Chain A
Amino acid sequence: MIRLENLRKRYPNGHDAIRGINLEIKQGEMIFLTGHSGAGKSTVLKLIGLLERPSSGKITVNGTHLNELNSKQIPFYRRKIGMIFQAPTLLNDRSVFENLALPLRIAGFSGPETRSRIHASLELVGLLKKHAQLPLALSGGEQQRVGIARAIVSRPDIILADEPTGNLDPALSKDIMHLFMRLNQVGITLIIATHDLALIQPLNFRQIQLQQGKIIEPALKAGTKGRDL
């Protein structure tokens, strides 16, 4: 379970990105953070992923108080979380396989286990045949799917996705959402920030609307399950 309590984030320039958010996300839930640009969606994800620290308030993830984690503990926490960004952030001089192997090698998985997991992840995102290719040889949608495969290859408890379909056309965006739903069906908690309401409205998952760093509309109750696309 993820719990945000009176969470605030003020940047050094005085801008209040998050202004007192209280939110509870159940284990295995899939939710959407919506709102205009600058509403604080990405900041919430960065705070949960510990890419940034809150100015005040408390974040608890599966019983761990993130505020109490020191800088040496953060990498081990991140290994339990998959992060997906609008741009796929891949190493362009390494093959798809090597990109997926990176988190597994960092975590110390054995060679056979690394290969097995990469195989499973690429199969799930439909890119098994492209494992030897360089990212730049792939289309934008394929690159994003490699990013998703890298996020799930460590078999994380939680996936944080920041505008994952922002650079994709509607058809590819639907494919990616479909993929997220499949991941959710096997129990992964997904928090997806998006401004594409047309894409997520039919899905009927909980939506948290943010405006100027505050939650203004929890559209659906916690635990609401979505329907297939």
Chain B
Amino acid sequence: MSSPRPPHRPEAVKEKQQTATPVTVWLKHHQAACKNAIKHLSHSPLSTLLTVFVVAIALSLPAGLQVAIKNLEAGHNAVNNQAKISLYLSMHTPKAEITSLITQLKNNDSLLDITFISAEQALQDFQSSSQLGNTLSTLKHNPLPASIIITPNTKKLTIDDIELLVADYQALEAVELAQIDAGWLKKLFSIIDLAKHFAIGVGIFLIFAVLILIGNTIRNLGQNFQEEIAISKLVGATDAYVRRIFLYSGLFYGLFGSLLGLLFVYLGMLWLTPHINELADLYNGNISLIPPDSGDIFSLLGIGTVLGLGGAWAAANRIINQLSL
């Protein structure tokens, strides 16, 4: 039997060698804290699941809104790319002036496509599409003007830029009427902008809610640990040692909450897909839902984990300070 050592005895050096290296000790402490956290969370599975569920709901709402905005923006860009400017030319505009105008437009790299439609072409198109062929052929003069259809590059030009461009074209002598229906695009853009701000507001609000929820859950968990914390501190545990078990608990709440939240987002998309397909049929099948990409997924998991750790950190410090050992 080995007996307790007398103070300052020579084998103190040998004893030092019997302790593991600081890194090994640190890793073992983390391993123990992780195991302990899992053990305590699994002791009350219903409570743990409820907390994870609430965290998931709180995180899935802003994440879902983010996905919705992304889809709206994609839809907006698709529609935006189809925006066309129509320049209806004045009657009897000399051909040379029209050629010069077309050349000038083609030199503008903010414009993707320039299509000239002569007055004769316009009449033919109208005759074939309107079924008024016989009636129109009785007219002595072609009443339709020549026109130029311009497709602006919406990656370079905003709706406001395009409107300024239209005003410039309107000022040209050769142009009788320059027009674009940008009003609805501006409204759509405003709605998306509003939705973005709403999502940010909801996101911030829910982030605080998750922090408070996890902090409060950890604080309650701390009640069960009070005796263990007190005894651990009496035998030499540092604050970091005591804090670790709570940090692991918070990490699990945040990580699993965000994973479940991600699942909710995907389930929501699955639920919406048939309805979107119905809508897509009405718009020639051009609409489809864009799922969260890897950046969105890692952001959500990261935010959940950081929130879990943050809430746990605050609660653990409070528990440790209250104990004042």
Chain A: residues with CB nearer than 8 A to chain B? 27-28, 49, 51, 62, 71-72, 75-76, 78-79, 83, 89-91, 102-103, 105-110, 113, 116-117, 120-121, 123-124, 150, 152, 154-158, 183, 186-189
Knowing A91-B228, A155-B15, say if A109 contacts B20 (CB, 8 Å). Answer: yes
Can you name 12 extra interface pairs (CB under 8 A) apart from A75-B241, A109-B18, A124-B3?
Answer: A27-B8, A28-B7, A51-B325, A78-B233, A78-B235, A83-B234, A103-B235, A108-B20, A110-B19, A117-B2, A188-B4, A188-B7
- Who on chain B is nearest to A182 by CB? B3
> Are A76 and B236 in contact (CB-based, < 8 A)?
yes
> Which of B19, B228, B230, B233 has a CB less than 8 Å from the CB of A107?
B19
Knowing A62-B7, A110-B19, A155-B5, say if A103 contacts B28 (CB, 8 Å). Answer: no
Give, as a whole number of angstroms, the nearest-CB distance from B113 to chain A: 70
Knowing A27-B7, A108-B19, A186-B6, say if A89 contacts B236 (CB, 8 Å). Answer: no
Knowing A108-B20, A110-B20, say if A124 contacts B236 (CB, 8 Å). Answer: no
Which residues of chain B from 223 to 251 have a CB within 8 Å of any chain A CB? 227-228, 230-239, 241
> Are A152 and B4 in contact (CB-based, < 8 A)?
yes
Q: Give the docked Cα–Cα distance between A78 and B239 (Å).
A: 13
> Which of B4, B7, B233 has a CB less than 8 Å from the CB of A75?
B233
> Which of B9, B20, B231, B325 has a CB less than 8 Å from the CB of A187?
B9
Interface string of B4-48 (1 = CB under 8 A from A): 111111000001001110101100110010000000000000000
Chain A residues with CB under 8 Å of B2's CB are 116-117, 120
Chain B residues with CB under 8 Å of A72's CB are 238-239
Q: Is B96's beta carbon under 8 Å from chain A?
A: no
Most buried by B among A76, A108, A116, A123: A108
Give, as a whole number of angstroms, the nearest-CB distance from B209 to chain A: 33
Q: Give the docked Cα–Cα distance between A157 and B25 (Å).
A: 23
- Who on chain B is nearest to A189 by CB? B7
Which residues of chain B from 163 to 190 have a CB within 8 Å of any chain A CB? none
> Which of B3, B7, B9, B231 has a CB less than 8 Å from the CB of A102?
B231
> Are A105 and B28 in contact (CB-based, < 8 A)?
yes
> Are A78 and B7 in contact (CB-based, < 8 A)?
no
Knowing A28-B7, A91-B228, say if A120 contacts B1 (CB, 8 Å). Answer: yes
Which residues of chain B from 79 to 136 have a CB within 8 Å of any chain A CB? none
Knowing A89-B231, A91-B231, A109-B19, say if A75 contacts B5 (CB, 8 Å). Answer: no
Give, as a whole number of angstroms, the nearest-CB distance from A135 to chain B: 12
Chain A residues with CB under 8 Å of B230's CB are 89
Give, as a whole number of angstroms, the nearest-CB distance from B207 to chain A: 31
Knowing A89-B231, A105-B32, A108-B28, say if A186 contacts B238 (CB, 8 Å). Answer: no
- Who on chain A is nearest to B238 by CB? A75
Q: Give the docked Cα–Cα distance between A90 and B25 (Å).
A: 23
Q: Give the docked Cα–Cα distance between A113 and B28 (Å).
A: 15
Q: Give the docked Cα–Cα distance between A75 and B231 (Å).
A: 12
Chain A residues with CB under 8 Å of B4's CB are 120-121, 124, 152, 155-156, 183, 186, 188
> Which of A102, A109, A157 has a CB less than 8 Å from the CB of B232?
A102
Give, as a whole number of angstroms, the nearest-CB distance from A191 to chain B: 14
- Who on chain A is nearest to B230 by CB? A89
- Who on chain B is nearest to A183 by CB? B4
Chain A residues with CB under 8 Å of B235's CB are 78-79, 83, 102-103, 106, 150, 154
> Are B19 and A106 in contact (CB-based, < 8 A)?
no
Give, as a whole number of angstroms, the nearest-CB distance from A126 to chain B: 11
Chain B residues with CB under 8 Å of A155's CB are 4-5, 15
> Are B18 and A113 in contact (CB-based, < 8 A)?
yes
Give, as a whole number of angstroms, the nearest-CB distance from B315 to chain A: 19
Q: Give the docked Cα–Cα distance between A124 and B3 (Å).
A: 7
Q: Give the docked Cα–Cα distance between A189 and B5 (Å).
A: 11
A–B complex contacts, Cβ < 8 Å, 19 sampled:
A27-B7, A27-B8, A28-B6, A51-B325, A75-B233, A75-B238, A79-B236, A102-B235, A103-B236, A106-B236, A107-B19, A107-B236, A108-B28, A116-B2, A123-B1, A155-B4, A186-B3, A187-B9, A188-B7
- Who on chain A is nearest to B9 by CB? A187
